[in-house]
Amino acid sequence: MLREASKLCQRLARHGLVVASDGNASLKGKNAIYITRTMSEFEGLSVADWRKMPHKGDPRVDVSSEWRMHQIIFQQLPEIKAIVHCHPVHATSFAVLGLGLDGTLLTETAEFGIIPVVPLAPPGSADLAGGVVKALETGRVACLLAQHGALTVGATFLEAVQRMERLERLAQIQWLVTHRV
């Protein structure tokens, strides 16, 4: 499970959707959450870069600074089993501008519907986690984080990764269409 997730995180880096340590990911297990450690770089991510943390309470290990967001999403939206958060250039540009994306522009992203922008909140805060849960609780599978990137979820890690890839492609196409390039 973690070996495959590591390879998928490396794929996100190869595609330019995350640089340096500007991203995090998690998987919901039966008895624990597996989350990338703090400052881990997706480009060379390995099984050793994942940390096990409880479903509730302080993780007490060197997990991503966004651990609270992952934990709260898994607690409040039990159908979600995987989360990917990174800062792809085009999707993040829309987030910085406070503009959502229209998933209905493309057949392959129609499941996204209208992708909202979660209001600005400090990274790692309960406020950010609450905003993300509110954006996803109606069955959405993606959202933008104001001035902070994008987040996708899935029933599997592969699904969450593919949604991030499609989200970035949607942002590129929406930009081109909007500006009639």
Residues annotated as catalytic (active site), given as ranges: 66
3-state secondary structure of 125: coil
Q: Read off the DSSP letter of residue 30.
A: S
Q: Which neighbouring-strand residues pair with 139?
A: none
Q: Read off the DSSP letter of residue 101.
A: E
CB neighbours of residue 103 within 10 Å:
21
Express the helix, strand and coil content of the chain in percent, nearest 5 each: 45, 20, 35
Q: Going along 8-77, which residue ranges are E strands?
A: 23-28, 33-36, 50-53
* Residues 100/94, Cβ–Cβ less than 8 Å: yes
Of 107, 85, 105, the closest CA to residue 152 belongs to 85
* Residues 88/46, Cβ–Cβ less than 8 Å: no
